[in-house]
Amino acid sequence: MGKRSIETLVGLFVLLGLLGLVFLALQAANLGSGSSGSTYTVQARFDNIGGLKARAPVRTAGVTVGRIQSIALDPKTFQGVVTLAIEERYRFPKDTAAKILTAGLLGDQYIGLEPGGDDNNLAPGETLAQTQSAVVLENLIGQFLTTRAADAGAPAAPASGASK
C-alpha cells in the first residue's frame, strides 16, 4: 500500500469517528429520534415538575409513546402545565393518570401514563385530570430527618408490665 492510500483510509476512519460522536450526542440529547408519525397533544398540570425537560419521553408500560412538547407555568394557579405530544397510533382512556417518574435512582425524569378503564378516549387538546407530581429527593430527606429528630426527642414509653 502506498502512502496516499493509507492517508485516505486514516481520513475515512476519522470521519466515521466524528459521525459516530455526532450520532451519540443527538441520542443523548433526545434529538435523534423524532416521532414516526403524526401526533396529538394533551395537557397535564403538576404542582411540581422537578427536573422535567422538554423532549423528555412519555412512556407507558416502558414503551415510549410520545414526547414532552412544552412546559409552561400557569400564572393563575402557579402549576406547571406540560403539553404532551402522543403518537396518533396510541389512544388512551379519558381517566388516564400521568406521573413524573425517574429513570433509575439518579436518571432523567419522564412522564409515565397509566391507562384507566374509561370507554371514551382522550381527545386532542384535553387535560389529564389525574396527575402525580415529581418526588423531590431533598424533600424526602428532609421529612426523614425531621421524623428521626422527633423520634429521638420523644420520651421513651414505659415497658409493659413495669410497676409504678
Q: Where are the domains of the chain?
A: 35-137
Q: Alpha-carbon distance 98 to 46, whole Å?
A: 9
> Residue 141 — φ and ψ, nearest 5°?
-65, -40
Q: What is the mean pLDDT of residues 23-41?
A: 71
Q: What is the mean pLDDT of residues 96-101?
A: 92
- Residue pair 85/41 in contact (Cβ under 8 Å)? The answer is yes
Q: Alpha-carbon distance 71 to 48, whole Å?
A: 12
Per-residue pLDDT at 161: 54
Is 73 or 30 the better-scoring residue by pLDDT?
A: 73
Burial class (CB in 10 A: 0-12, 13-18, 19+), 160: exposed
How far is CA 19 from each of CA 28, 32, 68, 160, rounded to the nearest angstrom? 14, 13, 27, 73
Report yes or no on whether pTM surpasses 0.85: no
pLDDT band, very low/low/confident/very high, at 156 (cuts 50, 70, 90): low
Helix (H) or strand (E) holding 138: helix 137-153
Per-residue pLDDT at 27: 74
